[in-house]
Amino acid sequence: MQLNLHKLQKKINIKFKNKNLLYKSMTHKSFDSKNNNEKLEFLGDRVLGLIISKKLLEIYPDDKEGILDKKLASLVNKEKCLEISKSLNLEKFILVGKNRNKNQPIENKIIADCCESLIGAIYLDQGFNVVEKFIIKIWTHQLKQSVNTYIDPKTLLQEHSLKKYKKLPIYKLIKNSGPRHKPLFEIGVKLHNSKYFISKGSSKKDAEQNAAKLLLSSIGIL
């Protein structure tokens, strides 16, 4: 199995100084157990996270940390990397096990990982400015879609609580009033060692969301 480096460079519009790096970025461990793309993937994952984080701060300067964190996660996960890899047709360049059936499709994880290893290789060969331009260009569509990323207050509060206290928020039904056809729920929520923040809603779910929003606002996350 041979890798057409010239065709791949043309596809990504980058001419490598060290073509061995490009070759390595497309080499799966099943093809070469020693000289493969695992460490480049490790590096590329960090480079991608840094550059997308930097771009999100530019696009959404008023967003809170929790919202930015969720947007970042939605942009750099394996599904997005697979999407990018397929847009570049990287599966046509990946070197996999020599005993593999030629008709057997390459697993999605391998294809997605090659997106990150390619980024790692570009960074090492070309430097930060080039890899930043490359990422922002091929992630243009995904970055535009990130404006629609929404996290409901209850989910956001749960993530914050688990991250900071390793515990879930505590919800408590304070009062249930109103007629059966138009009930009114009053629910409180608290974090570890905090007071209860109480809000109302026409359902338990709405009241919990409103209470979570109130608590998040008090600690500057919303």
The pLDDT profile of the chain, 222 residues, written as one tens digit per residue, is 568 899 999 999 999 999 999 999 999 999 999 999 999 999 999 999 999 999 999 999 988 887 888 899 889 999 999 999 999 999 999 999 877 767 788 999 999 999 999 999 999 999 999 999 999 999 999 998 877 666 789 988 998 999 899 999 999 999 999 888 889 999 999 998 899 999 999 899 999 999 999 999 999 887
**Six-digit token string for 76:** 């750099």
118/209 same-domain check: no
Give the domain CATH number at 204.
3.30.160.20
User: What pLDDT does residue 99 have?
Assistant: 74
Among the candidates 148, 174, 190, a domain finishes at 148
92/130 same-domain check: yes
127/24 same-domain check: yes
54/118 same-domain check: yes
Rounded-to-integer distance, Cα 189 and Cα 167, Å? 13
189/143 same-domain check: no
Q: Which of 41, 45, 113, 132 is catalytic?
A: 45
Give the number of domains in the chain. Answer: 2
* Residue pair 75/139 in contact by the 8 Å Cβ criterion: yes
Q: Which of 91, 113, 116, 208 is catalytic?
A: 116
Rounded-to-integer distance, Cα 70 and Cα 32, Å? 36
Active site residue 159: no
77/139 same-domain check: yes
211/175 same-domain check: yes
Active site residue 62: no
Provide the 10 A C-beta neighbour count for residue 68. 18
User: What pLDDT does residue 149 have?
Assistant: 65
20/106 same-domain check: yes
26/85 same-domain check: yes
Provide the 10 A C-beta neighbour count for residue 204. 14
100/161 same-domain check: no
57/113 same-domain check: yes
User: What's this model's pTM, rounded to 2 decimal places?
Assistant: 0.70
Bridge partners (DSSP) of residue 105 are none
116/197 same-domain check: no
Among the candidates 101, 131, 148, a domain finishes at 148
The domain of 212 spans 153-218
